[in-house]
Structure 1
Amino acid sequence: MPPETLETGQRKREALTFLILAVLIWPFIAVGVVAGWGFIVWMYYLFTGPPGPV
């Protein structure tokens, strides 16, 4: 294989990998982190009560 063909194939693979990460994986990770944080706060309030004067 000539070097140009190998470089083009590698660029296509890298672009596809980037698109999969950017469009599919990272949004799910972001939603999971936000949902996890919300769950932690919810559990904290469940055990300690709501904030503010009682």
Structure 2
Amino acid sequence: MKTTLERAFELARSGRLETLSELQRALVAEGYALQQLTGPALFEQLRKLMKVAKVHTD
């Protein structure tokens, strides 16, 4: 099984999610714990990945 961080980055790059809340819900639905997802730098990095991925999938 992948770590929470690995899966978070995969989901962020997928283009299917637009917000951190959606990302967190998806992780929980897949059975991942959210304790590893902390800190403003990580959140900003995930937001940027989701934004870029969304542009490329539209």
Q: TM-score range by the shorter chain?
A: 0.3 to 0.5
TM-score by length of 1: 0.33
Which of the pair has more CA radius of gyration?
Answer: 1
TM-score by length of 2: 0.31
More helix by share: 1
